[in-house]
Homo-oligomer: A and B are copies of this chain.
């Protein structure tokens, strides 16, 4: 690991010139042997590989990415929750044009107080349109549906907008009125004993690793799993609504567009099942 204040990126790296690269962020937690490890590393590396393939970006061998992650985790104290980020950019412009190597680096940071508070207390969201109809990215691979690229300016602007409206986060809806995802999270909700999320097809949302893991193990919680389209009004009738993400983990939606809902009895169970301490280790 290089110190965080040491420059590692050239001014001509396409990662910064064009937001041209991919990333993954993982929750770093105790490995049970006195150290720490990134949770769901295999799944994150698989998603990074899919993102890179859709951007025609040649990643280094997976072993090299695992080594970057392991090096970052090696000195991390087991009692501190961490957020590990792996970033791979297309590299300097001239070398990328001639098929040169991508630029990859890892960073590991502690988790902020606001993130822990969101787990414990839930969040309020404001719905904002993502502009697209729900199926706009079907058969349009250049729109990078399902790709976790470095081009997150709209994601960040959406969260700034939500904060300015007094909410904690945004929930993107399609131009035709379906709830899609958060700018940095996946939507999930409980309808009776069916745990639901939004289908990646046709919406082009990012396939969430935490949501996938949870739905794949819904039976452990006594539920079945389903992928459904839903509207914000439909969410109001759910038995619990959450935004799932790798580091924040589970954030219960306590209010959508100012309409508050009763706390779900399931949020604590979800956090516990997924191994997220609501107040840090």
Contacts and interface: CB of A to CB of B under 8 A. Distances in A.
Interface of A: 2, 4-21, 23, 54-56, 85, 87, 89, 92, 105, 107, 128-133, 136-137, 140-144, 147, 149-158, 160-161, 170, 175
Contact of A142 (B89, B107, B157): B157
B16 A10 contact: no
16 contacts: A6-B11, A7-B10, A16-B21, A17-B87, A17-B150, A18-B155, A18-B156, A19-B152, A129-B136, A131-B140, A133-B133, A133-B175, A142-B160, A144-B157, A149-B153, A151-B153
B131 A137 contact: yes
Given A10-B5, A12-B107, A131-B132, A18 B141 contact: no
A151 to B, nearest CB: 3
Nearest to A128: B142
B153 A20 contact: yes
B16 A16 contact: yes
B107 A16 contact: no
Given A141-B157, A142-B158, A13 B16 contact: yes
Contact of A10 (B4, B15, B130, B153): B4
Nearest to A164: B56
A153 B105 CA distance: 19
Contacts of A147: 153
A131 B180 CA distance: 15
A105 B19 CA distance: 16
Contact of A144 (B12, B14, B154): B154
B143 A19 contact: no
A154 B143 contact: yes
A91 to B, nearest CB: 12
Q: Which of A128, A142, A155: most chain B Cβ within 10 A? A: A142
